[in-house]
Chain A
Amino acid sequence: MAEAGRLSLHVPEPEVRPGDTPDFSHVPIPRAGSVERPPVDVDPREIRDLAYSIIRVLNRDGEAVGPWAGTLSDEELLEGLRHMMTLRTFDARMLMAQRQGKTSFYMQHMGEEAVSCAFRKALEPGDMNFPTYRQAGLLIAGGYPMVDMMNQIYSNEADPLKGRQLPIMYSARDHGFFSISGNLGTQFIQAVGWAMASAIKNDTRIAAGWIGDGSTAESDFHAALVFASTYRAPVVLNIVNNQWAISTFQGIARGGSGTFAARGLGFGLPALRVDGNDYLAVHSVAKWAIERARRNLGPTLIEYVTYRVGAHSTSDDPSAYRPKTESDAWPLGDPVIRLKNHLIVRGVWSEERHKQAEAEILDEVITAQKQAEQHGTLHSGGKPSTRDMFEGVYATMPPHLRRQRQQAGV
Chain B
Amino acid sequence: MPRMTMIEAIRSAMDVAMGRDENVVVFGEDVGYFGGVFRCTAGLQQKYGKSRCFDTPINESGIVGAAIGMAAYGLRPCIEVQFADYVYPAYDQIVSEAARLRYRSNGQFTCPIVIRMPTGGGIFGGQTHSQSPEALFTHVAGLKVVVPSNPYDAKGLLIAAIEDPDPVIFLEPKRLYNGPFDGHYERPVTSWAKHPLSETPEGHYTVPLGRAEVRREGSAVTVLAYGTMVYVAQAAAEDTGVDAEVIDLRTLLPLDLDTIVASVGKTGRCVVVHEATLTSGFGAELAALVQEHCFYNLEAPVMRVTGWDTPYPHAQEWDYFPGPKRVGEALVQVMEA
Task: Write the residues of chain A forming the contact surface with B, with a CB cutoff of 8 angstroms.
Answer: 128, 130, 160-162, 164-165, 169, 171-173, 178-179, 181-183, 186, 189-201, 207, 219-220, 222-224, 226-227, 230, 392-395, 398-400
Contact = CB atoms under 8 A, between A and B. Distances in A.
Interface string B194-211: 000000000000000010
B104 A223 contact: no
A395 B165 contact: yes
Rank and list the top 5 A-B pairs by shortest CB-CB distance, nearest first: A193-B69, A193-B66, A189-B65, A223-B62, A398-B254
A230 B67 CA distance: 15
Nearest to B23: A201
B255 A400 contact: yes
A160 B92 CA distance: 25
A395 B102 contact: yes
Given A173-B105, A190-B68, A395-B102, A223 B73 contact: no
B57 interface: yes
A186 B97 CA distance: 8
Interface in B108-130: 108-110
Given A189-B66, A200-B52, A161 B89 contact: no
Given A227-B62, A230-B57, A399 B106 contact: no
B66 to A, nearest CB: 3
A230 B104 CA distance: 30
Contacts of B105: 161, 171, 173, 179
Given A165-B104, A199-B51, 13 more contacts: A161-B105, A171-B108, A179-B108, A181-B96, A186-B92, A189-B93, A193-B68, A197-B73, A200-B25, A223-B61, A392-B103, A393-B142, A399-B257
Given A183-B97, A393-B141, A189 B62 contact: yes
A227 B165 CA distance: 25
Contact of A194 (B69, B104, B110): B69
Contact of A164 (B93, B103, B210, B254): B103
Nearest to A198: B73
Contacts of A196: 66, 69-70
B92 A183 contact: yes
A164 B66 contact: no
A227 B57 contact: yes
26 contacts: A128-B73, A169-B104, A171-B108, A178-B109, A179-B101, A186-B65, A186-B96, A189-B69, A190-B65, A190-B69, A194-B69, A196-B66, A199-B51, A200-B75, A201-B73, A223-B61, A224-B62, A227-B57, A230-B56, A230-B57, A392-B103, A393-B142, A394-B102, A395-B166, A398-B210, A399-B257
Nearest to A189: B65
Contacts of B301: none
Contact of B142 (A173, A207, A223, A394): A394
A186 B51 CA distance: 24
A128 B74 CA distance: 12
A223 B97 CA distance: 15
A130 B104 contact: no
Contacts of A169: 104
B69 A220 contact: no
Contacts of A160: 106
A375 to B, nearest CB: 16
A168 B160 CA distance: 36
Given A394-B166, A395-B166, A181 B97 contact: yes
Interface string B298-309: 000000000000
A162 B106 contact: yes
Nearest to A223: B62
Contacts of A398: 210, 253-254
A165 B96 CA distance: 13
Interface in B144-186: 144, 165-166
Given A219-B61, A230-B57, A399-B254, A161 B104 contact: yes
Contacts of A192: 65-66, 69
B48 to A, nearest CB: 11
B332 interface: no
Nearest to A207: B69
B73 A194 contact: yes
